[in-house]
Amino acid sequence: MVKEGQKAPAFALPDESGFDVALSDFAGKRIVLYFYPRDMTPGCTIEACSFRDYHAKFKERGAVILGVSTDGQRSHAKFKEAHGLPFALLSDKSASVCRKYGVWKKKKFMGKEYMGIERTTFVIDEAGKISKIFKRVQPLGHWKEILALL
């Protein structure tokens, strides 16, 4: 997993509309890069809607929000539309970016093991360095931790 103080790994992923979004597109800006397991699931919806509800406050502090999961563009588009999300959702179908950031983990559910995203948020500063990593995020109220940091 990447560490705080390191340069954030570069990436380019398609958003919900199919347009490539690269980390370098936001050079000189603060970025809240959050990895979440699945569109339309309870925890992921709480987290995304919190970022939506406080989007203006993040924007006031000069921060860009980007969500990443392994769901496809169509799923992201439905999720974004259903909840009025004002930020890009990026599709990492191959989990290559998830692996770069160290969030692709072995998980267990009902006795079964599988690989999936461990809910994690990275705050990237204007110089492109990771200033803070929030691991195993609890969706409810997570936005407050990030906003306090900015």
For 16-66, the pLDDT digits (tens) are 999 999 999 999 999 999 999 999 998 899 999 999 999 999 999 999 999
Sequence-separated (6 or more) residues with CB below 8 Å from residue 94: 70
In a domain, 20, yes or no: no
For residue 10, pLDDT beyond 90: yes
Does residue 17 sit within a domain? no
The share of the chain scoring above pLDDT 70, in percent, equals: 100
> What residues act catalytically?
44
Q: For 132-150, what is the mean pLDDT?
A: 91
pLDDT attached to residue 111:
84
Q: What is the pTM of this model?
A: 0.94
- Are the beta carbons of 2 and 102 closer than 8 angstroms? yes
Residue 129 lies in a domain: yes
The predicted pLDDT at position 62 comes to 93
Integer CA distances (angstroms), 111 to 36, 38, 103, in order: 21, 19, 21
Fill in the DSSP letter of residue 25: G
Residue 4 falls inside a structural domain: no
DSSP 87: S
Per-residue confidence (pLDDT) for residue 142, from 0 to 100:
87
The pLDDT of residue 110? 81
Structural domain of residue 102, as residue ranges?
28-149
Residue 112: what pLDDT?
86
Q: Is residue 108 part of a domain?
A: yes
Residue 120 lies in a domain: yes
Query: Stretch 58-75: mean pLDDT, rounded?
Result: 96
Number of domains in the chain: 1
pLDDT at 140: 86
Region of residue 84 (left: phi > 0; alpha: psi -120 to 50; beta: else): left
Q: What is the CATH number of the domain that holds 93?
A: 3.40.30.10
Domain assignment present for 76: yes
